[in-house]
Amino acid sequence: MGARVISFHYTLTDPDGNQLDSSQGSDPLSFLEGGGQIIPGLEQALGKLESGTKTQVQVAAKDAYGEHNAENVIEVPRDKLPAEEVKVGDQFRAGEDARSPVVTVTAVSDQSVTLDGNHPLAGVDLTFDVEITAEIRDATDEEISHGHAHGPGGHHH
């Protein structure tokens, strides 16, 4: 069986019911099965649904952005940071590279700054209200070789 491209609308909420993200009002999101384009727990759940299904999917933190790992929290001397003004909640890349992890400032003192390299949603159980759009289609050879879906809601080159 070849890989498929599945398109869906979603609204993401955290355990307190706060809406974190939604595709409503824009194109549904398209992903290539097995491409690792979306979080594993959601991909697994969506792969079992039929076209047109509207349902709610619960994804535990470990199957979403992972558990919060205390080893990814580091304290660095204030003068090691390039930025002059630093406040709690600031986010920046830990390196020059666009693929460097994003870190979040979680504490600031006169001498040091605490940086959390975990994804902001690490340790958070997520709820997705999803609707699979009408068409689930077979992936093209090009999509399979690129490892992602093309077209509306997918990658544009």
Strand order across the beta sheet in which 112-116 lies: 73-77, 112-116, 102-108, 91-93
Q: Which is nearer to Zn ion, 4 or 146 (CB)?
A: 146
Nearer to Zn ion, 28 or 35 (CB): 35
Binding of Zn ion by 147 (CB under 5 A): no
Which part of the chain contacts Zn ion (CB under 5 A), choosing from 34-42, 60-68, 122-130, 148-156?
148-156
Stretch that binds Zn ion, among 71-79, 106-114, 118-126, 147-155 (CB under 5 A): 147-155
Nearer to Zn ion, 96 or 141 (CB): 141
Give 136's DSSP letter: -
Q: Would you list the DSSP string of 2-69?
A: --EEEEEEEEEE-TT--EEEE-TTSPPEEEETTS--S-HHHHHHHTTPPTT-EEEEEE-GGGTT----
Q: How far is the CB of 147 from Zn ion (least distance, A)?
A: 8
Q: To the nearest whole angstrom, how small is the minimum distance from the Cβ of residue 25 to Zn ion?
A: 25
Which one of 73-81, 104-112, 118-126, 144-152 is the stretch in contact with Zn ion (CB under 5 A)? 144-152
DSSP of 89-128, one letter per residue? T-EEESSSSTTSPEEEEEEE-SSEEEEE-S-TTTT--EEE
Of the candidates 146, 151, 152, 156, which one interacts with Zn ion according to CB under 5 A?
Answer: 146
Report the DSSP pairing between strands 137-138 and 4-13. Answer: antiparallel
Using the contact rule CB under 5 A, the part of the chain among 7-15, 32-40, 79-87, 143-151 near Zn ion is: 143-151
User: Please, what is the minimum distance in Å from the beta carbon of residue 144 to Zn ion?
Assistant: 10
Amino acid of residue 148: H
Binding residues for Zn ion, rule: CB under 5 A, are 146, 155
